[in-house]
Structures are given as structure tokens and as C-alpha cells.
Amino acid sequence: MWPIVGSIGGQPVYSYGLAVAVALGVCLALAWGRRRAAGLETGDLLNFVLLGIAALLFAPKIWAIVHTMDFGAAAWLGLLQFWRLGELSAGVVAAATALAWAVYAARRRIPLRPVLDAYLLVVLTGLAIQRAGCFLAGCCYGTPTTMPWSVRFPAGSPAGDHFPGQALHPVQLYYATAYLLIAAGLWGLEAWRRRSGRPMPPGLTAGVGLLLAGAAHAGVSAFRADAAAAPIIWVAGLAATAFGALLLGWSIRGARPKLAPAAARRSAGQRRPTRVTGTPKRKSSLEG
């Protein structure tokens, strides 16, 4: 569509890269406003962002070194050329980012579920903007179609080169629309629970969001022209769905009142709660 928006000093300015920069800015602004909900200090928030950027810059190159078994000095030096992106893979970047965040959160003893609850809709908003960049660049394109909303990409773009003159599913916009709808839904759910005085158990928002976003990703990927050749596209969606389901189960289980009778708890070696203050403990009517 519009892969290069202009040039500065003879260097092209890519619409895709610009979309990533805009997504970063929007995400930062939204994340800043929600940092209290996430229970994050400013430094931690910035560290999460920097870890994501580091994963983008370095993980693909490290992956390429391992994948090609090229352990020469030149390959390692290439890691330092941060102004050059390696052979990127969305799956590698996502996996490295998730790993980095998990390790960082564990070291800092930051509970992950509130962070995910607060920031999943932020990330989805950012991904929607990034997909708009894909549309402009003509990458991540769909299969040919006769649908009235199909799009023809110009020659010189990945889509236009692969399917010259053919009308394609605008899957980039499908992705973006799905992510935005899910983000809006999560925001609405959060607002409704807040207004109704029913606080969300930790992980519920993120679980529902990941479940839906993963399923949407996998569903939209059915129209991707390259999905058959790159199964990681499907796997990423299904993995997100599975993780979302786990998170949701964990959240619901954690929020459910205990049903085990006191005798059973005692037999399992558990002691009755002891009163440690002068205020009597209010027992649930369901507790034994």
C-alpha cells in the first residue's frame, strides 16, 4: 500500500517501522496511566519495555546463531549491530519477551497476574497498530479472494510480488480489528465489574483476553497465504489460547471459596485458623 512514507537524509522511512514506533508510544502512554492498577513502579514499567525491545533486537540473532550453528566471531559481533534487525521471527520475539518478563518478574517478586490484567489490553492495542503497519507494508498478507473487501497490493510489496494483481484477504486488518475489539471488550468488562462493585480476581482479564486473542489469531491465520508454510503462525495463536485457558482456570480456581470441610483439612494436617488478633474472624457460611 504505502511501504515507504518518505525519506530523511536519504534514508527511507518505512511505514511499518513508523507504525511500530507509534504503537510503542501509544502503549507507553496507556501503560503509564495503568501502572498503579498493575502495581508497578515506574522503573519496573520502563524495564519491561526495555526487555521487550532487547528481545526484538537480539533474540532473532541469537536464534539464528543457534539455528545455523555459526558460532564464529563475526556472528557474535553482529549482535552488537543494534541498528540492524536480524532475521526476525514473531514467535522467537514473543517467546523471548515472555521469558524475559517472567524472569524479571520472578526476580523482582512482582505478581504477574495483575500486570497481565492491566497490560494485556494495552499490548493488544499496540499489536493492532502494528498490524496496520503490516497492511501498509504489504506483509503478512492473505490468500486470494473474490470478497468485495479484498485488496490488491502494489508490485514491490511482499504481497504484490507473491500475488501480482490479485485481490487478497486483508488479513492484517482482520488481525487489527480483532485485537481492538478484544481490547475494547476487556476494557468494558473491567469497567462493568468496577462499577458493579465486583472486583475481578487476578488473572481473569488476562485469561479471557489471551484466550480470545489467541483464538482470533489462529482463526484469522486460516486466511494467511504463508500459514501453511510457517506453522509457527498457528502455533503462536494456539499457545496463547492454551496459556489464556490455564490462566483463566487458575484465576477462577483461586477466586472460588474453599469447599473442603474442616475435618478433611485437619486430616490433611491443616490446623484451624487461630485467632491472632482480638477481632473475631468472620467465617464463610460455606466453611466447615
Contact residues toward other proteins (CB under 8 A) are 3-4, 7-8, 10-14, 16-18, 20-21, 24-25, 28, 42-43, 46-47, 49-50, 53, 60-61, 64-65, 68, 70, 72-79, 81, 83-90, 93, 130, 133-134, 137-140, 155-158, 161-162, 226, 229-230, 233
> Which is nearer to other proteins, 97 or 251 (by Cβ)?
97
Q: How close are the terminal C-alpha atoms of the chain, in Å?
A: 66
> Which is nearer to other proteins, 78 or 185 (by Cβ)?
78
Q: How far is the CB of 112 from other proteins (least distance, A)?
A: 21
Q: How far is the CB of 126 from other proteins (least distance, A)?
A: 12
Q: How far is the CB of 74 from other proteins (least distance, A)?
A: 4
> Which is nearer to other proteins, 18 or 167 (by Cβ)?
18
Q: How many residues in total does the chain contain?
A: 288
Q: How far is the CB of 220 from other proteins (least distance, A)?
A: 13
Choose among 190, 238, 202, 186: nearest CA to 217.
238
> Which is nearer to other proteins, 172 or 251 (by Cβ)?
172
> Which is nearer to other proteins, 136 or 208 (by Cβ)?
136
Q: How far is the CB of 20 from other proteins (least distance, A)?
A: 5
